[in-house]
Chains A and B, each alone.
Chain A
Amino acid sequence: MSMRRHGFWIGALCVLALAYGLTLAIRNEYAFFAGFIILQFIVLATAWNILGGYAGYVNFGTSAFFGIGVYTAIFLFKALGAPLLVQMAGAAVMGALLGFVTGLLTLRLHGIFFSIATVAMTIILETLVINWKYVGGATGIQVLRPPVTEPFDSYIKMLFVIGVALVIVAVALSRHVQGSWIGRGLRAIRDDETAAECTGVPTLRLKLLACSISGALMCAAGAPSAMYLQFADTTSAFNLNYSVSALAMSLIGGTSHWAGPVLGAIVLGVTQQALTVTISSELNVLVLGVMLILFVVGAPEGLLGLLRKGWARLARGGGS
């Protein structure tokens, strides 16, 4: 058991070192520019899955958390000149709080009511920010990047490494939740909430916990966006595409294991980046929608399920 835990962290450190190594080895900034988006999606999908996959509460409000992350960062930067890591930490705290409050308001609702309530929250928060002149309101706001800090030679490369670190944090959290009593309780909630409560599972508390963790990660994922684009407006910060992407990537990857959303985000993220560059950005949303439908209809266990089935078939074939 402890071997495996160490294994994970050793792997994580290797990935981080590799990411830094890449920033030294590769000149072209574009790779990191595109890579950062994929990292963001991995975090969003992983975060979404903690509530949506483990507990079965379909959150359509990923973009609300993402947007609040963006604007928390902008506020902290504009008001206090806070550095990037402080912006992200602040956004995470904000996200946990928002997740908690959202949970209190909406988690007594089930199924579609919860989902619609999260859409409602998104639009309301977006409208609030549109009417908040200090952070730019409807017209948006320019952000001037501070100079890059050592040991990095470009801001985008630094963002990329920070993105990798955030992915590691997100995956570690998701993995911990999945393997612990929290994950077992959430699964019980997903299977049958009434039976879970009557078996001693504190359903509301667990859902609040999941919603807070998920919210914190989503907000933290949004926070670097302002520095990444050097600009923010409500339309892109609260873009509903984040909600679809997080949900679709989780479901396509497979929701029962932490690796599912990671896999889904990588596969779809890479496809999307390629499509956006080569054809059009509309087409990539279309592909996402079509893939989502194909998978929920035809492969409810996602890519992970398909891999497992393929593996089992191979093993059987090898045996005979």
Chain B
Amino acid sequence: MSAPLLRVAGLSKRFGGFTALDDVSVDVAQGERFGLIGPNGSGKTTLINCVSGALRNDGGTILFAGEEISRLPAFVRTRRGIARSFQIPRPFKSMTVLENLLVAIDFGRAGHGLSADATEDEAIGILGTMGLKDKARILSSQLSQVELRKMELARAMAAKPKLLISDEAMAGLSGSEIDEVLDLLIRLNEAGITIIMIEHIMHAVMRFSQRVMCLDAGRIIAQGVPQAVMDDRRVQEAYLGA
């Protein structure tokens, strides 16, 4: 197996006296579909905040494509190829859907060298694959919930990431909408993008992921193929609440 795309080693994060992450180590391989689960407050979002740069970790290292990134500001990590969507969608409200993507292309791919027209074509193309083409000129604040979720993914994709972190991109969606987003993520993965999915909707994670990790109280309690993790006694206890 080649070197992992993302290697997190001995990661810890404290908020005051509260330990949110405690010695977390995990490798994610190039092209992998990786699921991250755990009960509320188990540290999932803290972990990806540390990876994406929204938070600074207190201890441990984060290697991305072989390079230490844990002291880099978030925007540099985005430019290196880590993109994310947010648990609660965070569109640029005063902009159209298209403009939202233009921000990501202009800034997320620093020095892309595309002309203004080419940039716009590129953005329209991405919106096309996401099924949002006819919404391009609409203000992002006027989108429906599922459209917002898709736009978040489209914006993340516009930065041409190597790794996409999807933070509960399906929360609040209906059954058919969940399938829609899931298919979208699988297609992105088939195009070569490594994906980490954080999800509460268990059947979605299990269907999607090749490998799953479960966090509880900031520690890894299980890691492996979906079924094995599901069957793990500690995972079941964590979810049932011991």
Interface size on A, residues (CB 8 A): 20
- CB-CB under 8 A from B75, the residues of chain A are 197-203
The dominant DSSP class at the A interface is helix
- CB-CB under 8 A from A190, the residues of chain B are 94
B92 touches A191 (CB 8 A): yes
B106 touches A184 (CB 8 A): yes
Q: Please tell me if A250 contacts chain B, counting CB pairs below 8 Å.
A: no
> Which of B74, B83, B103 sits near A184, CB closer than 8 Å?
B103
A199 touches B107 (CB 8 A): yes
- CB-CB under 8 A from B90, the residues of chain A are 192, 194-195
Q: A199-B78, A200-B79 are in contact. Are A187 and B94 (CB under 8 A)?
A: yes
Q: Which single residue of chain A is at the shortest CB-CB distance from B99?
A: A184
In the bound complex, CA of A98 to CA of B108 (Å):
30
In the bound complex, CA of A188 to CA of B108 (Å):
13
Q: Please tell me if B20 contacts chain A, counting CB pairs below 8 Å.
A: no
Q: Which single residue of chain A is at the shortest CB-CB distance from B141?
A: A191
B94 touches A191 (CB 8 A): yes
Q: Please tell me if A196 contacts chain B, counting CB pairs below 8 Å.
A: yes
- CB-CB under 8 A from A204, the residues of chain B are 73
Interface centre among A187, A188, A196 (most CB of B within 10 A): A188
B94 touches A256 (CB 8 A): yes
Q: Please tell me if A185 contacts chain B, counting CB pairs below 8 Å.
A: yes
Q: Please tell me if B102 contacts chain A, counting CB pairs below 8 Å.
A: yes
In the bound complex, CA of A185 to CA of B94 (Å):
12
In the bound complex, CA of A185 to CA of B110 (Å):
13
B103 touches A185 (CB 8 A): yes
- CB-CB under 8 A from B73, the residues of chain A are 197, 202, 204
**Closest-CB distance, B75 to chain A (whole angstroms):** 5
Q: A184-B99, A184-B102, A184-B103 are in contact. Are A200 and B94 (CB under 8 A)?
A: no
- CB-CB under 8 A from A181, the residues of chain B are 106-107
B52 touches A198 (CB 8 A): yes
Q: A187-B94, A190-B94, A191-B93 are in contact. Are A199 and B103 (CB under 8 A)?
A: yes
A200 touches B54 (CB 8 A): no
Q: Give the residues from 124 to 183 in chain A that come closer than 8 angstroms, CB to CB, to chain B.
A: 181
**Closest-CB distance, B126 to chain A (whole angstroms):** 13
A200 touches B109 (CB 8 A): yes
- CB-CB under 8 A from B108, the residues of chain A are 199-200
> A185-B103, A188-B95 are known contacts; what are 4 more A-B pairs with Cβ within 8 Å?
A188-B92, A198-B74, A200-B110, A256-B94
Q: A184-B102, A194-B54, A195-B86 are in contact. Are A201 and B94 (CB under 8 A)?
A: no
Q: Please tell me if B13 contacts chain A, counting CB pairs below 8 Å.
A: no
Q: Give the residues from 44 to 61 in chain B that come closer than 8 angstroms, CB to CB, to chain A.
A: 52-54
In the bound complex, CA of A228 to CA of B137 (Å):
49
Q: Give the residues from 208 to 228 in chain A that come closer than 8 angstroms, CB to CB, to chain B.
A: none
- CB-CB under 8 A from A187, the residues of chain B are 92, 94-95
- CB-CB under 8 A from A256, the residues of chain B are 94
22 CB-based A-B contacts, threshold 8 Å:
A181-B106, A184-B99, A188-B92, A188-B103, A191-B91, A191-B92, A192-B90, A192-B92, A195-B86, A195-B91, A196-B103, A197-B54, A198-B53, A198-B74, A198-B75, A199-B75, A199-B78, A199-B107, A200-B75, A200-B110, A202-B73, A203-B75
- CB-CB under 8 A from A197, the residues of chain B are 53-54, 73-75, 78
- CB-CB under 8 A from A195, the residues of chain B are 86, 90-92
Q: Give the residues from 83 to 121 in chain B that come closer than 8 angstroms, CB to CB, to chain A.
A: 83-84, 86, 90-95, 99, 102-104, 106-110
Q: Which single residue of chain B is at the shortest CB-CB distance from A200?
A: B108
Q: Please tell me if B150 contacts chain A, counting CB pairs below 8 Å.
A: no
- CB-CB under 8 A from B103, the residues of chain A are 184-185, 188, 196, 199, 201
Per-residue contact bits, chain B 193-227, to A (CB 8 Å; 1 contact, 0 not): 00000000000000000000000000000000000
